[in-house]
Every structure is written in C-alpha cells, then in structure tokens.
C-alpha cells in the first residue's frame, strides 16, 4: 500500500528566509508525486507534480521540488519565503492513470511566516 | 468556467440526521472524488467515480453513500450522521492530460465544513 509521511507538522520561518518541507513516500511502482497548498478556508491548489524526466521540478509561486528515488523523498523548497506563503502544504502520491488516479496524502505541514 | 463547485459551504447537523453534499464540475471530466480532511491526517478518499454510472469505495467509505447523477454531478450522502463525521469535505475532479503522460491534476472544490453535534 502506498503511504506518504510529512515529518514536520509545523514550521515557522522568517519572511525572506528559505523554506524546505520534507516528504517521504512508500510506493511499489514508479510514483507520481504532487505538492498541494491550502490557504486558510480554501481548497487545495496544485503547486507542482513529478511523473518522469528531470528530477528537479519547478512549480508555481517560486516553489521547486526534487525527487530522490534512493531516499524515497520529494522535498519542497522555496529560496525566499513571502508572508503569503503561510498555508498548509500537502504531499501526495498516486498511481497516475491507473487505479482511478487515487491520491494518498501526507498529514500536511503548516507553515507560519514571521515578519 | 467555475471548475469544481460544492454546496453547502457550512453545515451543522445533529447526530442521526441525514444530508447530502453536492458537487459539480464543468470541465467535462470523467472522474470525480470525495475526500475528507481531518487535522494531522491529510485528505482521505471516501468514494470515487471513474466515469458516469460507476462508483467505488475509497479508504474510508463507512457511513457514506454516493451518487454519480450525471457526468457533471457527484453527491455524497450521510444517512445517519455521527460526530466522527465532523470534518471538511472536498470534492475533486482530475484532468487527465493524455495517455502519454499518464497522470492527472486534481482540481479541488472549496470544501464543505460539516459539524455533527
């Protein structure tokens, strides 16, 4: 069975500092990996996704993520955080077009941005 | 083009009451999903519908029923609400960009916050 672990429940970062959110997954086949962001009271918005090719993936809002198969990780990074990045972030893994494209989500990491 | 819409946005029920959460998408997608979101647990799949006329159980289907009314609409019903069903419910619909890519981007609705007393 597939699973996703986000080890950090909360992260506090100063505005302008760098941010890295950790994601570890367990999946038997080639994983399709996603990062979503959820602002307070909102639905989820896709930041970026990986399914093949270059292991460094660029997303929206200045985010990037790196797929490391040997470490079963897909960490999300941003070089300089803005106050508007305060939100909850979810990593997810899915089988792609097979099995109804069901996604398994991590528990989420809530990011607080200090001025 | 509204994407994925959900109604209602908020609902308070008493234990044992029933209600139906509505979801509609105007993107002409085949698949639709219902998730529930609970603190520290991320989103868990309740039911999904791969195409009109089909539905399948997800990870946490107990206490829920679904209906795929047509291609646009996918409703979630709680027949006898329980406090354990207090949660935020999200409907989602993936866009499968093509067989060559073999993956999808799931578009989420704004959510329904349900409290069962």
A48-65: pLDDT as tens digits: 888 888 899 999 899 999
Q: Are B73 and B105 in contact (CB under 8 A)?
A: no
A9 and chain B in contact, CB less than 8 A? yes
Which tokens in the block code for residue B59?
Answer: 């990870």
Q: What is the chain A residue with the closest CA to B31? A: A100
DSSP B5-19: EEE-SEEEE-TT--E
Q: Where does the pLDDT of residue B98 fall: very low under 50, low under 70, confident under 90, or very high at 90 and above?
A: very low
Which member of A4, A98, A101 has the closest CB to residue B94? A101
Percent of residues, chain A, with pLDDT higher than 70: 94
CB-facing half-sphere around the CA of B52: CA atoms within 13 A = 9
Q: State mean pLDDT over B66-82.
A: 95
Q: Do B90 and A42 touch (CB under 8 A)?
A: no
Percent of residues, chain B, with pLDDT higher than 90: 61
Q: Do B31 and A101 touch (CB under 8 A)?
A: yes
Which member of A90, A97, A107 has the closest CB to residue B103? A97
B45 and chain A in contact, CB less than 8 A? yes
Q: Are B85 and B66 in contact (CB under 8 A)?
A: no
* Distance in angstroms (rounded) separating the CA atoms of residues B30 and B72: 9
Residue whose tokens read 């797929």: A67
Which member of B42, B58, B104 has the closest CB to residue A97? B104
**Does B95 score more than 90 pLDDT?**
no
Q: Where does the pLDDT of residue B101 fall: very low under 50, low under 70, confident under 90, or very high at 90 and above?
A: very low
Q: Do B103 and A32 touch (CB under 8 A)?
A: yes
Which tokens in the block code for residue B52?
Answer: 């009109």
Which tokens in the block code for residue A21?
Answer: 């959110």
- List, in sequence order, every beta strand (DSSP E) within A1-115: 3-5, 10-14, 19-21, 24-26, 32-38, 44-50, 56-58, 64-68, 73-78, 87-94, 104-105, 109-114
Q: Are strands A109-114 and A10-14 parallel, antiparallel or unpaired?
A: parallel
């Amino acid at each position: 069975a597939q699973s996703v672990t986000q080890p950090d429940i909360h992260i506090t970062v100063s505005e302008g500092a760098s941010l890295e959110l950790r994601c570890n997954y367990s999946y038997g086949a080639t994983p399709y990996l996603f990062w979503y962001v959820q602002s307070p009271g909102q639905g989820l918005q896709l930041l970026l996704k990986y399914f093949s090719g270059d292991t460094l993936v660029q997303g929206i809002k200045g985010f990037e993520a790196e797929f490391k198969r040997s470490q079963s990780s897909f960490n999300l990074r941003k070089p300089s955080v803005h106050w508007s990045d305060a939100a909850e972030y979810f990593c997810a893994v899915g089988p792609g077009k097979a099995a109804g494209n069901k996604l398994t989500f991590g528990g989420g990491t809530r990011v607080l941005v200090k001025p | 083009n509204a994407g994925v819409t959900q109604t209602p946005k908020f609902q308070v029920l008493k234990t044992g009451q029933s209600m139906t959460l509505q979801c509609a998408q105007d993107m002409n997608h085949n698949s639709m999903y219902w998730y529930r979101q609970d603190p520290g647990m991320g989103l868990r799949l309740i039911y999904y519908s791969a195409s009109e006329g089909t539905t399948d159980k997800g990870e946490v289907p107990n206490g829920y029923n679904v209906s795929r009314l047509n291609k646009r609409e996918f409703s979630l019903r709680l027949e006898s609400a329980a406090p354990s069903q207090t949660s935020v419910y999200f409907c989602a619909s993936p866009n499968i960009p093509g067989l060559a890519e073999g993956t999808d981007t799931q578009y989420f609705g704004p959510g329904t916050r349900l409290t069962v007393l």
